[in-house]
Amino acid sequence: MAFGWIDEQALVRRRAGLVRTLRPRPADSPLLDLASNDYLGLARHPEVTEGAARAARAWGAGATGSRLVTGTTELHAELERELADFCGFEAALVFSSGYAANLAAVTALAPHGSLVVSDAGNHASLIDGCRLARGTTQVVGHADPDAVRKALATHEGPAVAVSDTVFSVDGDAAPLAALAQVCRAYGAGLVVDDAHGLGVLGEGGRGAAREAGLAGSDDVVVTVTLSKSLGSQGGAVLGPARVIEHLVNAARTFIFDTGLAPAAAGGALAALTLLRREPERAARARAVAAELHARLTAEGLSAVRPDAAVVSVRAPSPEGAVRWAADCRAAGLAVGCFRPPSVPDGISRLRLTARADLSGVQIERAVRVIGETRP
Ligand code: PMP
């Protein structure tokens, strides 16, 4: 029977208690949300939703074509100028997702004969970029600039190191300044994914590269998503103008994909406007993360010290993590649950989002529920 092997895999998953299911969220969910990536609480901010609605009315529900044909509106151009300016880079290019932006950056900057040095903790989209790239990938130990140095030292020809700025599973930060120094010493480029840093790290949320003093560097390329702190949807690559021009001409996920929906561009632009006006939102997200971590630790829970707005809490087993998250949900709290095979190290965790708009009472309630339901 066609696809018979799928049933065998499904059985294995069911036996291991690792079946994933979709849970449609109602518009007015009663749950306290510590599971989304809406770090600054902007996804439902009236200025952001109005920016999206206005853009849809002016430009249409869809972009109508790929970026090089009809899919580049004046709104896309404005968003690209604003993203580049906000984060301190020469130019930016917007994609339909952060995933597509990562595939583009890695594949277009790793030609045949090149070396890609990739952190073992990188996001799936960077890993897939490495898989699609023509160059050879070497995976190195997590957050280890010396391992990157050793890998670069063995190679002649173009090379690029790729890393998340804030790792999505544990919320720890990459040693960006040290990585940039190593790359520079070997004439290699550095591509960093700031999905979890934009809006949270750096002055006023201008990102991890800004915080590390790397914004605008000739040899640094940053990818971002518009779907986390900016509360919208889409992705972008920021960097030197010549790199962006290269992507326009060479990146397949740019050339062959329909442009970002105007509503998503309008929403992201409104969020950037808001963030310029209210830069304290970034520091507030970091403060909420620090408070969550301190309170969870005081409860005797094992939480990783957060470098941004992701707080990771260790669970005893994959089944324990699944049950823990379900018990939190039953008690009115939505939390993320990471377990194999999504986590390569085999450690299961609850993943909490320190949203800037959480109140002290909500933080207290979240910690109480997590403590009371611990497996
Ligand atoms: N990079 C990282 C580190 C992420 O966590 C995500 C989203 N899960 C992405 C890239 C992909 O971004 P998008 O959701 O916009 O495709």
The pLDDT score that the predictor gives to residue 89 is 98
- The architecture (CATH level 2) of 23-44+279-372 comes to Alpha-Beta Complex (3.90)
Q: Is the CB of 166 inside a 6 Å radius of any atom of ligand 1?
A: no
What are the backbone dihedrals phi and psi of residue 35, each rounded to the nearest 5 degrees, phi first? -115, -25
In CATH terms, 46-277 corresponds, of 1.10.357.10, 3.40.50.2000, 3.40.640.10, 3.30.200.20, to 3.40.640.10
Q: Which residues of the chain have pLDDT under 70?
A: none
The pLDDT score that the predictor gives to residue 111 is 98
Q: Is the CB of 95 inside a 6 Å radius of any atom of ligand 1?
A: no
The pLDDT score that the predictor gives to residue 4 is 94
Interface ipTM: 0.99
Q: How far is the CA of 99 from the centre of ligand 1 (A)?
A: 6
Q: Is the CB of 235 inside a 6 Å radius of any atom of ligand 1?
A: yes
The pLDDT score that the predictor gives to residue 136 is 98
* Structural domain boundaries in the chain: 23-44+279-372, 46-277
Q: Is the CB of 225 inside a 6 Å radius of any atom of ligand 1?
A: yes
How many angstroms separate the CA atoms of 206 and 213, rounded? 11
Ligand 1 atom at minimum distance from 164 CA: 3
The string of DSSP letters for 76-135 reads HHHHHHHHHHHHT-SEEEEES-HHHHHHHHHHHTS-TT-EEEEETT--HHHHHHHHHSSS
Q: How far is the CA of 195 from the centre of ligand 1 (A)?
A: 6
Please give the model's pTM, rounded to 2 decimal places: 0.97
